[in-house]
Amino acid sequence: GQSLEQPSEVTAVEGAIVQINCTYQTSGFYGLSWYQQHDGGAPTFLSYNGLDGLEETGRFSSFLSRSDSYGYLLLQELQMKDSASYFCAVPHNTDKLIFGTGTRLQVFP
Amino acid sequence: GAVVSQHPSRVICKSGTSVKIECRSLDFQATTMFWYRQFPKQSLMLMATSNEGSKATYEQGVEKDKFLINHASLTLSTLTVTSAHPEDSSFYICSARAGEGAAYEQYFGPGTRLTVT
């Protein structure tokens, strides 16, 4: 089976940097993606890592280490609007997505 | 571009009745649509995958006779919760993918909150 584990909750203050980790166990690997979801809203795509290393998109970066079955999402210059749930996800058989357990980020002033 | 809508956004129904949720891709043709269920403070759980013109593929543990999925066109998929019970109360989210896009290239609808009384 597939499993993706994330910390349940992370807190930080505005302007800080926070890292959300994701460890996975999969049969076959086709990349790791990250999504943001505000309460009651739709998940929105943030980033994708198909190969090892760091991908940077503005204030958000994502890292992947396939040898360690591990990735993280790095959020810099935190803003109040970044308070949301964040999910890592992997494709199953290149097709459907399996989501991680999710991390609730709370940003305080 | 790549907008997916869902209707209704919220619905309350009585136990034993059926409710239909629509998922539409507004500006692209979705060869594949996915239906997820999300309980409060939990992750998205994939219920089924539907391809236009063919039967849906359900995930293990999802009752196909209870959750009827129809993907009648390249822009519309429907999920019907039959004989709903309070435990079916949840947030239902659809997503759509165009053509042969990668798995992560899914566009999510805004979700439908179902409450069964």
Of A19, A34, A10, nearest to A108 by C-alpha is A10
Q: Identify from B34, B44, B45, B51 which residue to disrupt to test chain A contact, counting A C-beta atoms within 10 A and taking the largest count.
A: B44
Closest alpha carbon to A89 in A55, A62, A60 = A62
Asked if B104 lies within 8 A of A42 by C-beta distance, the reply is no
- Mean pLDDT, chain B, rounded, equals 93
Q: Do A40 and B42 touch (CB under 8 A)?
A: no
Q: Does B34 touch chain A (CB under 8 A)?
A: yes
Residue ranges of chain A whose pLDDT lies below 70: 94
> B residues 46-105 near A, CB within 8 Å?
46, 49, 91, 93, 102-105
Q: Which one, of B72, B91, B88, lies nearest residue B24 by Cα?
A: B72
Chain segment B10-21, per-residue pLDDT in tens: 999 999 999 999
Interface residue A95 vs chain B (CB under 8 A): yes
Per the CB < 8 Å rule, is A102 touching B43?
Answer: yes
pLDDT of residue A94: 67
- CB-based contact (8 Å) between B44 and chain A? yes
Q: Tokens 């800080």 belong to which residue?
A: A16
CA distance A78 to chain B (A): 22
User: Can you tell me whether residue B76 is helix, strand or coil?
Assistant: strand
H and E: helices and strands count for chain B: 0, 11
Which residues of chain A lie closer than 8 angstroms to B44, CB-CB? Answer: 43, 87, 99
Residue of B nearest to A84 (CA): B41
In this structure, what DSSP letter does residue A43 have?
A: -
Q: Does the CB of B43 have a partner CB in chain A at under 8 Å? A: yes
Q: In the structure encoding, which two tokens stand for residue B75, read together?
A: 């822009």
- pLDDT beneath 50: ranges in chain B: none
Interface check for B108 against chain A (CB to CB < 8 A): the answer is yes
Instruction: Determine whether B117 is exposed, middle or buried from the number of CB atoms within 10 Å of its CB (0-12, 13-18, 19+).
Output: exposed
